[in-house]
């Protein structure tokens, strides 16, 4: 059992009381899959104004789940709910329920810092620390008091397909790496603490096509051991790498001043891109709108 599996089991058994909630209205037919996250009527607001509302869908184990939709539809807001990053924004509030392995992620007994150790995040822009390559990867394991730090660093860099490129310059500053290498470094830094889930918020938007291809290949390898959620504006990328896709749109309120995101459709990626159930999905993935 991986460390993350054991830790996730601890979350399931110890952080909060077990809760059972029915599937959301957007859940697809793949009921045989193990559910990692279950979102039930989730609404996220900033200063009392909803940014995304009434979201109900499941995220499955060892899948890559893509969130797509036009700018401003709440994709980044939604993905940040899954490791409680929105807690760090004073004006943000989250209503509804998100279950992580059956446990209420926002329950009173859940420590968000502990949750983020199991649910890592990679951001749109690479954000290496101003340290050596080695110290970037070793930072998390050292902070968490993990053993065999040297081995963890090597394994994380290998998993991120970066070891062969940096093994002879581990003590050099990470700022000297290319943008694509820095993003894979950030993925390796996430892997070093052995998470259960990896959230990626547009991880390739600032990268060239070659670096993007390497990140996509890496995601396909990592899903064998991790569950991945990705926000992307790149329709081709979503079609290439994801197993499930959620399409969100922007709606205006009655005053036409406030924009709110909602899920239109959630299903197997192949169905979303070849035979969507909603005409709005077809218009977006075909490029007619967006």
* Gap between the Cα atoms of 51 and 76, Å rounded: 10
Q: How far apart are CA 113 and CA 286, in angstroms?
A: 40
Residue indicated by tokens 């009655």: 254
Helix (H, G, I), strand (E, B) or coil at 29: coil
Q: For residue 30, is pLDDT > 90?
A: no
Above pLDDT 90, what percent of the chain? 76
pTM: 0.86
Strand order in the sheet with 119-122: 103-104, 92-100, 35-46, 49-60, 259-268, 244-252, 64-68, 227-231, 197-201, 119-122
Which fold would CATH assign to domain 3-285? Rossmann fold (3.40.50)
User: Would you mind telling me the total number of residues written for the chain in this entry?
Assistant: 290
Q: What's the pLDDT tens digit per position in 174-189?
A: 999 999 999 999 999 9
DSSP H helical ranges for the chain: 3-10, 75-81, 112-118, 133-143, 149-159, 163-166, 179-191, 209-222, 235-241, 269-274, 279-285
Cα–Cα distance measured from residue 33 to residue 23, given in angstroms and rounded to the nearest whole number? 13
Separation between Cα atoms, residue 99 and residue 110, nearest integer Å: 11
**pLDDT at residue 251 is higher than 50:** yes
Q: pLDDT band at 258, cuts 50/70/90?
A: confident
Q: How far is CA 92 from the centre of its chain?
A: 19
pLDDT tens string 212-225:
999 999 999 999 99
The pLDDT tens digits of the residues spanning 95-131 come to 999 999 999 999 999 999 989 999 999 998 899 999 9
Domain regions of the chain by residue span? 3-285
The pLDDT of 138-143, averaged and rounded, is 94
3-class SS of residue 231: strand
Among residues of the chain, what percentage have pLDDT more than 70? Answer: 88
Q: Buried b vs exposed e over 164-194: b needs ≥16 C-beta within 10 Å?
A: ebbeeebeeebeebeebbbbbbbbbbbbbbb
What is the chain's Cα-based Rg? 19
């Amino acid at each position: 059992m991986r460390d993350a599996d054991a830790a996730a089991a601890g979350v399931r058994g110890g952080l909060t009381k077990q809760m059972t909630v029915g599937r959301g209205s957007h859940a697809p037919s793949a009921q045989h899959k193990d559910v990692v996250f279950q979102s039930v009527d989730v609404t996220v607001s900033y200063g009392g104004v909803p940014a995304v509302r009434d979201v109900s869908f499941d995220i499955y184990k060892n899948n890559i789940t893509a969130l797509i939709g036009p700018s401003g539809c709440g994709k980044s807001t939604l993905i940040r709910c899954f490791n409680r990053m929105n807690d760090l924004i004073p004006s943000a509030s989250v209503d509804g329920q998100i279950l992580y392995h059956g446990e209420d992620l926002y329950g009173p007994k859940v420590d968000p810092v502990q949750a983020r150790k199991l649910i890592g995040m990679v951001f749109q822009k690479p954000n290496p620390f101003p340290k050596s390559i080695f110290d970037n990867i070793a930072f998390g394991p050292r902070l968490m008091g993990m053993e065999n730090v040297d081995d963890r660093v090597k394994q994380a860099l290998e998993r991120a397909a970066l070891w062969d490129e940096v093994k002879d310059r581990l003590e050099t500053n990470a700022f000297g790496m290319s943008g694509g290498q820095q993003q894979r470094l950030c993925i390796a830094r996430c892997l070093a603490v052995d998470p259960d889930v990896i959230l990626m918020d547009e991880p390739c938007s600032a990268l060239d096509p070659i670096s993007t291809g390497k990140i996509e290949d890496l995601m396909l390898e990592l899903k064998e051991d991790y569950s991945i959620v990705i926000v992307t504006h790149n329709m081709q990328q979503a079609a290439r790498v994801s197993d499930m896709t959620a399409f969100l749109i922007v709606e205006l309120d009655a005053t036409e001043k406030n924009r709110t995101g909602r899920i239109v459709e959630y299903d197997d990626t192949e169905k979303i891109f070849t035979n969507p159930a909603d005409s709005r999905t077809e218009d977006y993935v075909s490029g007619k709108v967006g």
